[in-house]
């Protein structure tokens, strides 16, 4: 009987044990709480959608039909095409072979009746030359290769290019940007998706958004990914084939809700937006062997490729509401915890029947 | 007693990071939140293991630089008040919570 009274009179939670309880609670609840709030703020994100709709692109576009303005039509421009491999190409293919001069340029400029003929129409869709689906991939600059003799096996692990205003003009100014996805596709070779040609590539990537007169810029880094270098073609309308893969690499710039708010406060006119994109620390399994032939890296510096740009939007007013509301509740909880940690107010201990 | 306290604290850190990591892997978190950057700042918790605290760090940074408005400053104030209170209690009474 005496023993039972002694147990009943014991405080349920005292001194050091309550301190541990409080510290553990903070260490566990705070990261989960902030994760919940930030995720709630991001809950109204839309799905990725191509920036071009079928009627946005026309075969008789003045830019396409005027060779003098062809450069203005570019959406992607190389700033750093990788390592200078000129001497390697020349030593492999012959000293006098000038087809692989570093940073020399090759872009298809074939025209028929004044209009660029590398685009063609099939049904109601516009295709880029060699394209096997209708995602409106965009021409990119590439190495010069008048007498192409084959890829040497390596072109560096650090590439930089510019996505210019021509691309961002297709964004909806009335919506708030929350993600940009660039998918580079090389349609030259299509094989079965389980072919060993497709392997995992690890890389880091970053982006800098810039306005027209370069007075405003925002840098976003810390992106990294490991992905299989394949792009699945469900149905090839032009070649009447289905279910195969081509080479690709995809950069998904999925901005946090905070970043989306900052971007849309700074850049409210997407027509003047451009971006500097860098892909680096590329770990490419084939390139470890320096094997001559086709590469598993889509931009090898010696071939052209196409770029698909997808965008997703978020309602930053709703995001702001969820973020601010959630943050206010978390802040309130922290203030209450701070006050209840003083000797003046101990609601938790009193409730638990702890020390008086 | 101190070693038990340290073990419990390490356990709670591991537990919470595991929970948030699992949430991130299962698509609960926006992938951007697992990055070590908020507004282009340099991160402290940059390893994959610390992804849960990376998000917390991003959150605190965003609150401190004004991205979350007044609510963010209210949150930072609460966190600062809590840490100051616990530090003061430790110095004066030898325990964090009095």
Angle formed by the axes of helices A15-41 and B2-25, nearest 10°: 20
In this predicted structure, what is the pLDDT of residue B52? Answer: 55
C-alpha A221/C-alpha B37 separation (Å) is 7
The answer to whether the Cβ–Cβ distance between A34 and B78 falls below 8 Å is no
Closest chain B C-alpha to A349 CA, distance in angstroms: 10
**Beta carbon pairs, A and B, within 8 Å:** 165
In this predicted structure, what is the pLDDT of residue A269? Answer: 83
For residues A99 and A303, the answer to whether their CB atoms sit within 8 Å is no
In this predicted structure, what is the pLDDT of residue B43? Answer: 38
Rounded mean pLDDT of A301-305? 59
Cβ contacts of A332 on chain B, cutoff 8 Å: 74, 78
Cβ contacts of B57 on chain A, cutoff 8 Å: none
Using the predicted structure, report yes or no on whether residue A275 has a pLDDT greater than 90: yes
Per mean pLDDT, which range of A129-133, A147-151, B20-24 is the poorest?
Answer: A129-133
In this predicted structure, what is the pLDDT of residue A53? Answer: 59
C-alpha A54/C-alpha A40 separation (Å) is 34
**Out of B9, B19, B58, whose CB is closest to A256?**
B58
Cβ contacts of B56 on chain A, cutoff 8 Å: 30-31, 34-35
Closest chain B C-alpha to A220 CA, distance in angstroms: 5
Using the predicted structure, report yes or no on whether residue A123 has a pLDDT greater than 70: no
Range with top average pLDDT, A72-86, A200-214, B15-29, B44-58: A200-214
Cβ contacts of B69 on chain A, cutoff 8 Å: 320, 324
Using the predicted structure, report yes or no on whether residue A205 has a pLDDT greater than 90: yes
Note whether B55 contacts A: Cβ–Cβ < 8 A.
yes
Rounded mean pLDDT of A11-34? 69
Q: Which helix (H) or strand (E) holds A80?
A: strand A76-80
More confident residue, A250 or B28: A250
Note whether B64 contacts A: Cβ–Cβ < 8 A.
no
Q: What percent of chain A has pLDDT over 70?
A: 61
Note whether B8 contacts A: Cβ–Cβ < 8 A.
yes
Encode pLDDT of B67-94 as tens digits: 788 999 999 999 999 888 888 887 877 7
Using the predicted structure, report yes or no on whether residue A144 has a pLDDT greater than 50: no
> Where do the DSSP E strands lie in chain A?
49-50, 76-80, 111-112, 115-116, 119-122, 125-128, 138-139, 159-163, 176-191, 200-210, 217-228, 230-236, 241-254, 274-284, 306-314
Encode pLDDT of A100-117 as tens digits: 555 554 444 444 444 445
In this predicted structure, what is the pLDDT of residue A267? Answer: 87
C-alpha A20/C-alpha A10 separation (Å) is 18
In this predicted structure, what is the pLDDT of residue A35? Answer: 80
Using the predicted structure, report yes or no on whether residue B32 has a pLDDT greater than 90: no
Range with top average pLDDT, A40-44, A206-210, B37-41: A206-210
The answer to whether the Cβ–Cβ distance between B97 and A218 falls below 8 Å is no
Encode pLDDT of A57-75 as tens digits: 555 555 555 556 555 556 7
For residues A312 and A178, the answer to whether their CB atoms sit within 8 Å is yes
pTM of the model: 0.72
3 state DSSP class of A168: helix
């Amino acid at each position: 009987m005496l023993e039972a009274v002694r147990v009943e009179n014991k405080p349920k939670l005292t001194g050091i044990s309550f301190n541990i309880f409080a510290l553990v609670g903070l260490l566990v609840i705070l990261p989960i709480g902030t994760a919940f709030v930030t995720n709630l703020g991001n809950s109204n994100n839309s799905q990725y959608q191509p920036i071009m709709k079928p009627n946005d692109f026309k075969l008789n576009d003045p830019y396409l039909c005027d060779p003098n303005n062809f450069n203005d039509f570019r959406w992607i421009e190389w700033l750093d095409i990788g390592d200078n491999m000129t001497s390697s190409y020349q030593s492999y293919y012959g000293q006098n072979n000038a087809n692989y001069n570093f940073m020399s340029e090759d872009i298809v400029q074939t025209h028929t009746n004044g209009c660029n003929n590398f685009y063609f129409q099939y049904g109601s869709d516009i295709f880029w030359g060699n394209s096997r689906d209708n995602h409106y991939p965009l021409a990119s600059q590439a190495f010069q290769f008048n007498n192409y003799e084959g890829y040497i096996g390596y072109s560096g692990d650090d590439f930089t290019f510019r996505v210019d205003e021509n691309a961002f003009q297709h964004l909806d100014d009335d919506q708030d940007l929350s993600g940009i996805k660039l998918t580079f596709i090389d349609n030259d070779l299509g094989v079965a998706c389980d072919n060993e040609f497709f392997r995992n590539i690890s890389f880091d990537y970053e982006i800098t958004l810039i306005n027209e007169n370069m007075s405003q810029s925002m840098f976003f880094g810390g992106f990294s990914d490991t992905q299989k270098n394949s792009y699945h073609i469900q149905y090839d309308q032009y070649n009447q084939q289905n279910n195969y893969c081509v080479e690709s690499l995809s950069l998904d710039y999925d901005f946090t809700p905070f970043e989306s708010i900052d971007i849309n406060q700074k850049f409210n006119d997407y027509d003047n937006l451009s971006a500097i994109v860098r892909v680096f620390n590329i770990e490419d399994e084939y390139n470890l062997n320096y094997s001559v032939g086709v590469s598993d890296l889509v931009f090898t510096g010696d071939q052209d490729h196409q770029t698909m740009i997808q965008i997703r939007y978020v309602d930053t007013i709703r995001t702001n509401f969820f973020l601010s509301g959630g943050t206010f509740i978390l802040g309130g909880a922290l203030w209450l915890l701070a006050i209840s940690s003083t000797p003046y107010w101990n609601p938790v201990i009193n409730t638990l029947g702890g020390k008086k | 007693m101190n070693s038990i306290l340290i073990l419990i604290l390490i356990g709670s850190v591991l537990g919470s990071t595991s929970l948030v990591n699992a949430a991130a892997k299962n698509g609960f978190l926006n992938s951007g939140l697992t990055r070590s950057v908020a507004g282009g700042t340099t991160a402290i918790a940059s390893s994959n293991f610390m992804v849960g605290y990376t998000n917390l760090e991003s959150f605190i940074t965003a609150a401190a630089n004004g991205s979350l408005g007044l609510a963010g400053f209210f949150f930072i104030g609460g966190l600062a008040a809590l840490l100051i209170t616990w530090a003061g209690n430790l110095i004066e009474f030898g325990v964090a919570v009095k």
